[in-house]
């Protein structure tokens, strides 16, 4: 099989490439093929190739996806690929994720207790089974958030964004002792009160982090603390 | 006092020594961090995103060393040492849930004694469990197994762990330049004097002066050495991995037999990863995932964790290991250990190539290379990476904002 990939680079320039594909070929595989065979200078971000690192987000045919777990055969052709907005573009499809990380709570843990095999007894050598948090910090939720996008290319309102706020939610859930420290940081117009409840973030998240739900829970916690006793 | 004074003087000398490290994988990250802590003026160049070559595609097993204990006690011991060190300096990048080696056949049962003796000799804690005991810890394993051996394996985040090294190095003054490819290694007489790079962000070429150049480009190391006119004995050896949806187990599950294809299931976040196969190639940029590997890996992994066979497919991918040496057939016979080549022997002083190694021992690889460099330069600057906690991976990207 062959597929037509149309790359719309950050600068606006368009290029079309034809690549050989198979049943399991992903959009990232196709980009790798283009770089190795047709455009050696093509810039895009990638690392793990299995949806764990969160680096390879792009907009494909208008949808925010992780290119490493998106099969080309499931996409309408030509596949139109753009860099993830609203991030600064380093070049071509590669973005700078610095804005995503700027609002995360300091030292929020990326580990959590594992819920897999709940009846299992951990070996005596460890206190309990752990796993990495769901959020892979891919930025798809921020990319689709209408508050941050303002519906177009223009910058939106100041807003910490769904990824960072979800991280606040998870950190407070795991470490209630940090509540007094962390809740005031997000009790602001650019914090949890900046959310317009569009819910797009929860829909697009490939790892079921449900940022909109996390934000709603944080709003409830703030209201409960302020309610007269 | 004398040694303290000498060390201070050597640190001052190191600050004037410009080191360029080529390759933004785990090896380059660890060398960059180590040399920066020792006071060198370090720049790292990577042609793509950090860890976009082999490092990030690792299945994520944190090796206790048990897998290598039979046949290579030294590597096994080093793995165990590094598991303990990483647990102290980078605990956030590790799911430390231990691992089980399953004896599935009569041959495996016989191999078990050799395996446990080798683990003990390498200082790797190991405990034989009846299958009933093992099932209490890990209900997902094959209940037909004869017994299991518990070892301190775990899962590492193959992207975020090296990023912690980069974040800390940058905070200490290192310069990291991704999307920047080395076009040539410059020399004057017999000494490397720098590299010419192209920064793909600006499409501009630039000369980066250096007093020392270290080639840590993994399976691309042969290509990089070629840009200095040097022939490097290296074999890129790709392998396939498959991830299915769902965290089927908490512990790493391995087959209690000599290393082979499809002999490990690594749980990671909400996935289960089966690894690996291995073949050889000349060009690590032109590897495709063989579809036959996907089916065979799921079948073999299902012998360890039966629910794998019916789990929903998530992803299949290939990564090229950098094996030191050259082989015409069967890469597994090659050493998995680290090789450091000082290319003075090839007529180019101050140019080094690093090949091989493994994800778990990245910090030790950084130390080994940095120790060699300090020895060659007659600098008395001790390694401090084993006791230096690493910054969060998020600090790497937050620096720009």
CATH assignment at residue B301:
3.30.9.10
Same domain, B123 and B262: yes
Phi, psi of A225, deg, nearest 5: -70, -30
pLDDT tens-digit map of B193-251: 999 999 999 999 999 999 999 999 999 999 999 999 999 988 889 999 999 999 999 99
Same domain, B197 and B238: no
Residues of A in contact with B160 (CB under 8 A): 53, 110
Q: Shortest Cα distance from B391 to chain A (angstroms)?
A: 9
| Segment B129-141 mean pLDDT | 98
Query: Across the interface, which of A47, A136, A137 has its CB nearest the CB of B56?
Result: A47
- Which pair of structure tokens corresponds to residue A79? 């596949």
- Which pair of structure tokens corresponds to residue B343? 């290319």
DSSP A137: -
**End residue of a domain, out of B297, B324, B351:** B324
Whole-number pLDDT of residue A229: 67
Same domain, B51 and B183: yes
Q: ipTM of this model?
A: 0.96
Whole-number pLDDT of residue B362: 95
Q: Are strands A2-8 and A79-83 parallel, antiparallel or unpaired?
A: parallel
CA B199 to chain centre: 26
Q: Where are the beta strands (DSSP E) in A61-217?
A: 63-66, 79-83, 89-91, 94-95, 111-113, 130-132
pLDDT tens-digit map of B136-194: 999 999 999 999 999 999 999 999 999 999 999 999 999 999 999 999 999 999 999 99
Same domain, B238 and B152: yes
Q: Per-residue pLDDT for B122 more than 60?
A: yes
Whole-number pLDDT of residue B5: 77
Binned at pLDDT 50, 70 and 90, residue B19 comes out as very high
Angstrom distance (rounded) from CA B89 to CA B91: 6
pLDDT tens-digit map of B284-321: 888 888 888 999 999 999 999 999 999 999 999 999 98
- Which pair of structure tokens corresponds to residue B88? 């102290």
User: For chain A, which residues make up each domain, given as ranges?
Assistant: 2-95, 98-226
> Which CATH code for domain A2-95?
3.10.20.30
**End residue of a domain, out of B324, B358, B393:** B324
In chain B, the residue whose alpha carbon lies closest to the alpha carbon of A25 is: B289
Whole-number pLDDT of residue B333: 42
Which parts of chain A have pLDDT scores under 50?
151-153
Contact B55, B156 (CB under 8 A): no
Q: Per-residue pLDDT for B126 more than 60?
A: yes
Whole-number pLDDT of residue B7: 77
Same domain, B238 and B319: yes
| Sign for the pseudo-dihedral over CA of B39, B43, B46, B48 | positive
In chain A, the residue whose alpha carbon lies closest to the alpha carbon of B294 is: A24
Angstrom distance (rounded) from CA B178 to CA B51: 10
Same domain, B187 and B253: no
Q: Shortest Cα distance from A223 to chain B (angstroms)?
A: 30
Q: Which CATH number covers residue B46? A: 3.50.50.60
**End residue of a domain, out of B324, B357, B388:** B324
Angstrom distance (rounded) from CA A159 to CA A148: 7
Same domain, B264 and B223: no
Pick the CATH number of A98-226 from 1.20.1070.10, 3.30.450.20, 3.40.50.2300, 1.10.1060.10: 1.10.1060.10
Same domain, B242 and B374: no
Residues of A in contact with B285 (CB under 8 A): 32, 35-36
Whether the bond into B382 is cis, omega within 30 of 0: no
Q: Is B185 on the interface with A (CB under 8 A)?
A: no
Range of the domain at B134: 64-156+234-324
pLDDT tens-digit map of B79-112: 999 999 999 999 999 999 999 999 999 999 999 9
**Number of structural domains, chain B?**
2
Tell me the percentage of chain A whose pLDDT exceeds 90: 89
Same domain, B195 and B319: no
Whole-number pLDDT of residue B326: 61
Same domain, B128 and B20: no
Q: Per-residue pLDDT for B400 more than 60?
A: no
Same domain, B137 and B260: yes
Question: Which has the higher per-residue pLDDT, B123 or B237?
Answer: B123
């Amino acid at each position: 099989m062959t597929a037509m990939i149309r790359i719309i680079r950050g600068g606006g320039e368009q290029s079309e490439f034809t690549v050989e594909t198979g049943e399991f070929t992903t959009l990232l595989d196709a980009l790798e093929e283009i770089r190795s065979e047709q455009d050696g200078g093509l810039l895009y971000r990638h690392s793990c190739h299995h949806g764990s690192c969160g680096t390879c987000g792009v907009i494909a045919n208008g949808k925010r996806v992780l290119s490493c777990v998106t099969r080309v055969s499931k996409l309408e052709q030509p596949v139109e690929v753009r860099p993830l907005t609203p991030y600064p573009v380093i070049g071509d499809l590669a973005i700078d994720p610095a804005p995503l990380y700027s609002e995360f709570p300091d030292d929020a843990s990326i580990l959590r207790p594992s819920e897999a095999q709940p009846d299992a007894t951990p070996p005596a050598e460890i206190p309990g089974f752990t796993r990495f948090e769901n959020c892979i910090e891919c930025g798809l939720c921020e990319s689709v958030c209408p508050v941050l996008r303002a519906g177009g290319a223009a910058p939106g309102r100041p807003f910490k964004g769904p990824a960072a706020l979800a991280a606040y939610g998870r950190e407070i859930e795991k470490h209630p002792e940090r509540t007094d420290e962390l809740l005031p940081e997000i009790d602001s117009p650019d914090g949890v009160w900046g959310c317009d409840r569009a819910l797009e973030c929860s829909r697009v998240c490939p790892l079921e982090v449900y940022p909109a739900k996390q934000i709603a829970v944080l709003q409830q916690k703030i209201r409960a603390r302020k309610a007269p006793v | 006092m004398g040694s303290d004074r000498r060390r201070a003087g050597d640190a001052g000398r190191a600050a004037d020594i410009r080191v360029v490290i080529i390759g933004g994988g785990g090896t380059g990250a660890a060398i960059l961090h180590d040399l920066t802590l020792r006071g060198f003026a370090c720049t790292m160049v990577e042609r793509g995103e950090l860890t976009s070559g082999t490092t990030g595609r690792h299945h994520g097993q944190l090796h206790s060393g048990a897998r290598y204990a039979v046949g290579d006690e030294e590597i096994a011991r080093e793995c165990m040492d590094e598991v303990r060190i990483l647990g102290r300096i980078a605990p956030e990048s590790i799911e430390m849930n231990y691992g089980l080696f399953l004896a599935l056949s009569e041959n495996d049962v016989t191999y078990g004694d050799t395996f446990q003796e080798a683990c003990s000799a390498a200082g790797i804690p190991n405990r034989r469990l009846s299958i009933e005991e093992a099932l209490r810890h890990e209900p997902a394993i094959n209940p037909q197994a004869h017994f299991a051996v518990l070892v301190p394996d775990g899962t590492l985040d193959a992207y975020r762990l090296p990023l912690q090294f980069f974040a800390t190095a940058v905070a200490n003054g290192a310069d990291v330049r991704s999307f920047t490819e080395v076009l040539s290694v410059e020399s004057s007489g017999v000494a490397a004097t720098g590299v010419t790079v192209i920064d793909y962000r600006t499409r501009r070429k630039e000369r980066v002066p250096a007093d020392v150049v270290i080639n840590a480009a993994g399976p691309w190391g042969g290509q990089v050495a070629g840009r200095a006119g040097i022939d490097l004995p290296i074999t890129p050896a790709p392998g396939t991995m498959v991830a299915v949806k769902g965290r089927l187990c908490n512990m790493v599950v391995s087959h209690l037999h000599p290393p082979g294809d499809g002999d490990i299931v690594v749980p990671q976040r909400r996935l289960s990863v089966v690894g690996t196969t291995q073949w050889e190639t000349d060009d690590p940029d032109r590897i495709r995932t063989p579809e036959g590997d996907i089916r065979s890996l799921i079948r073999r992994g299902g012998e360890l964790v039966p629910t794998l066979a019916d789990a929903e497919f998530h992803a299949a991918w290939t990564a090229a290991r950098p094996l030191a040496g050259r082989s015409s057939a069967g890469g597994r016979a090659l050493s998995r250990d680290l090789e450091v080549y000082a290319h003075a022997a090839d007529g180019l002083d101050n140019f080094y190539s690093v090949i091989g190694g493994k994800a778990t021992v990245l910090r030790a690889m950084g130390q080994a290379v940095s120790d060699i460099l300090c020895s060659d330069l007659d600098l008395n600057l001790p390694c401090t990476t084993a006791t230096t906690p690493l910054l969060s991976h998020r600090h790497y990207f937050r620096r720009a904002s």
